[in-house]
Structure 1
Amino acid sequence: MVNVTDLLTDLPATAYTWLAGQQYSNNQIQEVMVMASPDVENWVLKGELILTSLYGTDWASRKAIVDELVSHQAAGMLIKLNQFLEQVPTQLVRYCEQQGLPLIQIRHITYREIIQAFSQLQQQELSVLGLLFNSRSTRVLKALCNNIATSEQIEFGQTQLGLSARTENYVLLAVEKLSQIGNLTALVKALQNVLPRANLVILEDCLALVLAGIDQLAVFKRQVVEPLANLHFVGSAPVSLVNLNLAYEQALGTRKIALARPLQAFTSYEDLGIEKLFLTAGTTALSACLVTPALNQMYDQEPELFESLLAYFRHNQNITRAADAIFIHPKTLRYRLNKIEAALGVELANGEQALELNMAVHFLDLKGHGFELN
């Protein structure tokens, strides 16, 4: 879907100036509307981008317009300068910034040109989506990822899609849902420019990329992931062509883990460590297997102890580094660990008990941040 930044990028650089709310530049635009009258409460809808000259309005009505646009979750407001309005009032700029409404000043461009630019971007998006949803390549990739491919489709994957019979194929997924990706056309073009042999497909409202070779994966990380600050990706371990469904399952699981963590530009299934084990059973079963009532009580009622234990394991049971990570003195951490051992009835020096507790703590932390597996 087209957002405010996408539309402005498509306009001449001299035609607009950001005035307020630039941090909301990813607001999705459903429609571009010209405001002919100030009674916006009667017609404005969510996601609309409003074009106006503010003709015939005073401060009270302008403030009311902003309030209504924010209330209806409008995408933003573009104000055209003319002989009646030579400069956007500073008071209005400050109020839009305060209310979080994107405010852009435009000049030397007509409303028609802006609306046409938006329509063209929409058509490009629809064209790309149509290609991703309906091409033969899409059908083959879906069949391969869902383990229902025929022998002809497997051959097509190798001869036409550039995939390998050997263990060197990867399935990558965007962490963001398709509806959260801004200018899909620009993303697709960027991928095609640097990875012409990569294969794009929509799988369960996710943008997926299927490619072959560690060299292609390296190019993807360096030339696609790094420049795209607003998108995050996960990837599978390398698999053979006939096992592409396993790679897809790995990528889906990695995506669930990634969504429960601070987002990284790229997260590989191979980097998950013990968290891979959490993808082998449902959340309920894992809770019953790993989490004791005492640990669950600590998580709910004594978060500082749980945080200390998590830091201890995350830093390889190094007390100094763990204490630094949570900004306490090592002596304080030792005291807390002794208290934890007594409360849970474990000995952290016991390798088997420490391993089991490490897994349980990591699982509880993930679960607390939204990880769920049916």
Structure 2
Amino acid sequence: MKLKELLSIGDLKTSKILTKEIGLENEVESAMVLEAIDIEQWSKKNQLILTSFYAFNGQSNELLEEFFSKMQVIGVSGLVVKMDRFITMIPVWFIDLCFKYQIPLIKISQEVSYEKILLTIYEPLLNHQTHILRTYYEVRQRFTKLEKSFPSLEAIMQEFYQIIGSPCSLKLIDKHIEINFGEQAKDGIVLSREAVTNGEFTKNDYSLLQLYSQSSVKTQQALEVSIFNSYSSNCLLLVYLNEPEIKETDLVIIENTIDVLQEKFNTERLLKKERYTRLNNLADAILQNTPANPDELESLLLEANMSLFPSYQAVAFSTRSTTIQLIKEKVLSLLRSLKVRSIFFDQHSYSVVLFNFDGANGSITKEQVEHLLAKTLESNPDLSLAISNVKPKHEIKEILMECLDILRFNEEFYSDAIVSLADIGIFRYFIQNEQLNEMDTFVPESLQQLANSNYDLFETFYQFLRNERNYKQTAEAMFLHSKTIRYRLNKAEQLLAIDFSNPLQLLNYEIGTYIIKMRRKAHEKNTPIS
């Protein structure tokens, strides 16, 4: 209750304010009779202090200044001096100190007892707290009744809207969910944000927003609170205020609603975890432990709702790095948008999305995946994806092995961020036979020496091969003059002791060049930047 409201009721109506308008908006939450000036030992914020002035007799100017300074720091609501037959006038110096430290000073006549003063102060405070507690109980009862029906987020917010009577909005920003009730501007711009001081009945942190609507050309206030939970990483509750003042009863209603929403979020998280475990186990049974019996496989596919179409294909990506772990859910969500029917399998080092579709409508291509994940690939250069071939139902067991072979190859010999089985071609033989290291034996010794000792010449030779052995295209790709390219290639031809006009000889060196280049790229990707 504000000080000016308190001074307008009961026996306090007879009081006289000696400090004009100072502190009349101060909140009053308790009262205390002053016995000694060691105020830091017993007083607290928003407390009204009663005194008969005797405690100040004989005190030095320094102690009195210190007392008033401490009152200001603590946030005392005001001083009430009760007059008696020995104290008929409050000294001017005392009033001056009240002005100096902005402490409201109220004079009460000697006819009004301390008991009446305290009763006058505490009666409205207790009535107010009783009202708040009654509000809490009634709101809790309504939500308890609602919770028995396992309500949706929409149902909880609708009940909240009916109780609080103000427009409200729940935003799960990371999940692109927004639930609104009541009339509110859709184009509101935040002009200012101010932290709201927590009260006796609040445990969450609130902000008071000043909003401006461009469409209605009006400003509006809104309370905003972040709801921390394990279901949504960015969840906001907003209440648009109809009145300039924030009521404690409204805060009690909001606090109750937050508790109910957090319970709902916990339930959703547990259900999501349960669904994830069940579907992951199902995908594991289909992809990794594929039953040999066609009927068993059909049963699993039916349970996963993955048996309607004849074609199957998968996209997999490694999740070894911490950065990829953080974006795993986002990548899975994007990949699953490629086709209507999908199921994913999540292992500790990789994730796989299996698709079921009509092959006549086209398979998943590298171009589609690259377009879908363009921004994600740009901001996460260590993300690497594998695309399997399209398989019929009876060959579904090969899909996971194809994806893992591609990922393993790309770890040792990096070729691109998105790799299909056709991209690794004959190299798959070395993966299947656990002979990836044997690939280095296909690199001519002179080519390896060139890469180690003169990388500019090696890079020119590599670009020459990539650009279809065309001198002009190679020069353009390397931003060099064509004469420089010819000079470098002539020197490389001499050092390698090969004939560029011999196609078989050049093919062997081309394979070796790609092996060196892919091995180097893989090493660069797997080496952390210091």
What interval of TM-score do these two structures reach, taking the shorter chain for normalisation? Answer: 0.5 to 0.7
Q: How does 1:1-374 map to 2 (within 5 A)?
A: 7=174, 108-111=223-226, 113-115=227-229, 117-118=232-233, 128=272, 130-135=274-279, 138-139=280-281, 141-146=283-288, 148-151=290-293, 152-156=295-299, 159-160=302-303, 161-162=305-306, 168-177=311-320, 180-182=324-326, 195-212=339-356, 213-214=358-359, 215=361, 217-218=363-364, 222=368, 226=372, 229-230=375-376, 233-256=385-408, 258=410, 261=414, 264=417, 266-272=418-424, 279=431, 282-287=435-440, 289-370=441-522
- Tell me, yes or no, if the aligned pair for 2:415 and 2:518 is still in contact at 8 Å: no
Deviations 1:70-118 (A, max 9, x none): xxxxxxxxx98679xx9xxxxxxxxxxxxxxxxxxxx94224x245743
- Structure 1 residues 191, 354: closer, same or farther in 2, change over 3 A? closer
For structure 1, the residue ranges without an aligned partner over 5 or more in a row are 18-51, 56-78, 87-106
The amino acid of 2:299's aligned partner reads F
Please report how far the alpha carbon of residue 145 of structure 1 lies from its aligned counterpart in structure 2 after TM superposition: 3.4
Deviations 1:288-328 (A, max 9, x none): x2112222121122110111111011111112111211122
- Structure 1 residues 220, 191: closer, same or farther in 2, change over 3 A? farther
Please report how far the alpha carbon of residue 191 of structure 1 lies from its aligned counterpart in structure 2 after TM superposition: 5.6
Partner of 1:45: none
Please report how far the alpha carbon of residue 235 of structure 1 lies from its aligned counterpart in structure 2 after TM superposition: 0.4
**1:317 aligned counterpart, secondary structure:** coil
- Structure 1 residues 255, 121: closer, same or farther in 2, change over 3 A? farther
Please report how far the alpha carbon of residue 355 of structure 1 lies from its aligned counterpart in structure 2 after TM superposition: 0.9
CA–CA separation in structure 2 for the residues paired with 1:14 and 1:262: 47
- Structure 1 residues 349, 140: closer, same or farther in 2, change over 3 A? farther
- Tell me, yes or no, if the aligned pair for 1:311 and 1:325 is still in contact at 8 Å: yes
- Structure 1 residues 367, 256: closer, same or farther in 2, change over 3 A? same
CA–CA separation in structure 2 for the residues paired with 1:308 and 1:145: 44
**2:500 aligned counterpart, secondary structure:** coil
- Structure 1 residues 343, 237: closer, same or farther in 2, change over 3 A? same
- Tell me, yes or no, if the aligned pair for 1:235 and 1:267 is still in contact at 8 Å: yes
For structure 2, the residue ranges without an aligned partner over 5 or more in a row are 1-171, 180-185, 198-204, 211-221, 234-261, 378-382, 526-530
- Tell me, yes or no, if the aligned pair for 1:6 and 1:183 is still in contact at 8 Å: no
Compare 126-135 and 201-210 and name the one that shifted more: 126-135
Deviations 1:47-86 (A, max 9, x none): xxxxx97x9xxxxxxxxxxxxxxxxxxxxxxx98679xx9
The amino acid of 1:202's aligned partner reads D
Q: TM-score, length-normalised on structure 1?
A: 0.59
Bigger Rg, structure 1 or 2:
2
CA–CA separation in structure 2 for the residues paired with 1:197 and 1:238: 15
Please report how far the alpha carbon of residue 127 of structure 1 lies from its aligned counterpart in structure 2 after TM superposition: 5.0
Deviations 1:221-248 (A, max 9, x none): 6499526621563201223333334332
Deviations 1:121-159 (A, max 9, x none): 897677555434433xx4454345346523143333565
The structure, 1 or 2, with the larger RCO (C-alpha pairs under 8 Å, 6+ apart) is: 1
The alignment covers a number of residue pairs equal to: 283
**2:224 aligned counterpart, secondary structure:** coil
**1:313 aligned counterpart, secondary structure:** helix
Deviations 1:190-224 (A, max 9, x none): 56666332222124532211124443634996499
- Tell me, yes or no, if the aligned pair for 1:236 and 1:270 is still in contact at 8 Å: no
CA–CA separation in structure 2 for the residues paired with 1:224 and 1:357: 31
The amino acid of 2:495's aligned partner reads A
- Structure 1 residues 292, 10: closer, same or farther in 2, change over 3 A? same
- Tell me, yes or no, if the aligned pair for 1:309 and 1:337 is still in contact at 8 Å: yes
Deviations 1:36-57 (A, max 9, x none): xxxxxxxxxxxxxxxx97x9xx
**1:322 aligned counterpart, secondary structure:** helix
The amino acid of 2:284's aligned partner reads K
Q: How big is the alpha-carbon RMSD for the aligned residues of Structure 1 and Structure 2?
A: 4.5
Q: TM-score, length-normalised on structure 2?
A: 0.43
Deviations 1:160-217 (A, max 9, x none): 5535997x42221135559625566666565666633222212453221112444363
- Structure 1 residues 193, 351: closer, same or farther in 2, change over 3 A? closer
**1:323 aligned counterpart, secondary structure:** helix
The amino acid of 1:150's aligned partner reads A
- Tell me, yes or no, if the aligned pair for 1:323 and 1:333 is still in contact at 8 Å: yes
